[in-house]
Amino acid sequence: MRFISATYIFDGKRFLNDRPVLVLDDNDCFLEYRKRNSVEKSKVEFYDGIICPGFVNAHCHLELSHMKGLIAEEGRLLNFAKEIITKRRTFSKEQIQAGIVEADKFMWENGIVAVGDISNTPDTFEVKQKSPIFYHTFIELIGFNPEHAEGAFALGKELQRGASRMDLINSLVPHAPYSVSESLMKKIAADVEHTKYPVSIHNQESAQEDLFFQKKEGDFVELYDFLKMPIDFFEPSELSSLQTYLAHLGKCSNLLLVHNTFTESEDIVWANNFYRELYWCLCPNANLYIENTLPELNNFIADNCRMVVGTDSLASNNSLSITNEINVLLKFYSWAQIADVLKWATYNGAEALGIEDRFGGFIKGKNAGINCLSYNRNQLVLEKKLA
């Protein structure tokens, strides 16, 4: 048995006032809290800092880990997309695998216990199967031409069968509003409707996304030109991207909207009214990397959005560290409460992925990880992984 306590104890939702002692069994599974003075002092491992449950990285692309440092920063989403498309497969299998292995290990060592991870390929499946990290694999579908919906869906199903054969928990998801047709989105929604699994979509990562849906103008028209894919079938809706596509996703389970860099207040209020199980994922380092800007966090807080935190991929971030994401949030939104940000990075992330009975807190009979953090000058540092 282990007895652990610290100056501050954060349980995934709040700081515990009475600073209890956490009792763990020999496998580091949480058993119970005990009052401080009920445990012999010499038996207690006491840490000067904050202890909290393991982090949940709600949005990652582990399979792009070999692309670290390859794409120039602040090049806009259009350039980023072009570079990803042309560069991602110019690597050997060995290089791709080495990147995946290293990134998985890095996340584990940096206090991440669960990840919502996008897969367009089976490249990560073996590493995820063996990893101590829990992965929810989002099998991501792309197909903007409605005539290709059937084919894109079939490809996704095939990839999904591969993941399921390896016992990876997974669900089909659309990539982004500008890359998935209404018919493909509806097929995805029907597929996940009767499961409890979450769905994710990249949302309003660029200001150009709304322009595309409102007027069929801007960078995305250029992107399809670059890809030599005619989009004559596409009619602008005159609405924002979010207000155009959300209805197509039906009423699936938890929906993670990722990035939201250019989501306006009006859209946030509308979406929260329209769709109850929404989670809004912040990937601040990736936003700075690609568009050199951040979402208007005030607007999300004002409408009581459930926020979660993700690293995105090493193609658009210098590290897959949740503490780095938290520190960017604390730096740019100096009014943000540390308890709120920690909740987004632990309990909310677990709830979004539907694994809150296993991660995101100190849960009886479970080892959901324990991180020991120091907090100095508005910066969090992971000092030690305790479990």
Sole residue written with tokens 């949480």: 30
The amino acid at residue 67 is: M
In whole angstroms, the minimum distance from the beta carbon of 104 to Zn ion comes to 17
Counting every residue written for the chain, the total comes to 387
Position closest to Zn ion via CB = 312
Helix (H) or strand (E) holding 93: helix 93-109
Closer CB to Zn ion, 210 or 312, in the complex: 312
| Distances, alpha carbon 363 to alpha carbons 6, 9, 38, in Å | 18, 14, 21
Q: Give the residues lining the site for Zn ion (CB under 5 A).
A: 312
Contact indicator for 346, 56 with CB cutoff of 8 Å: yes
What's the token pair of residue 333?
């939104």
In whole angstroms, the minimum distance from the beta carbon of 69 to Zn ion comes to 17
40 CB neighbour count, 10 Å cutoff: 8
In whole angstroms, the minimum distance from the beta carbon of 140 to Zn ion comes to 9
In whole angstroms, the minimum distance from the beta carbon of 313 to Zn ion comes to 6
Closer CB to Zn ion, 201 or 329, in the complex: 201
Closer CB to Zn ion, 11 or 117, in the complex: 117
Helix (H) or strand (E) holding 326: helix 322-332
In whole angstroms, the minimum distance from the beta carbon of 310 to Zn ion comes to 8
Cα–Cα distance measured from residue 242 to residue 275, given in angstroms and rounded to the nearest whole number: 11
Write the CB contacts of 132 (distance below 8 Å, at least 6 apart in sequence). Answer: 108
Sign (positive or negative) of CA dihedral 210, 214, 218, 224: positive
Closer CB to Zn ion, 291 or 312, in the complex: 312
Contact indicator for 140, 120 with CB cutoff of 8 Å: yes
Contact indicator for 188, 157 with CB cutoff of 8 Å: no
Closer CB to Zn ion, 21 or 163, in the complex: 163
CA atoms within 13 A on the CB side of 54: 31
In whole angstroms, the minimum distance from the beta carbon of 233 to Zn ion comes to 26
In whole angstroms, the minimum distance from the beta carbon of 258 to Zn ion comes to 6
Closer CB to Zn ion, 30 or 279, in the complex: 279
Closer CB to Zn ion, 267 or 312, in the complex: 312
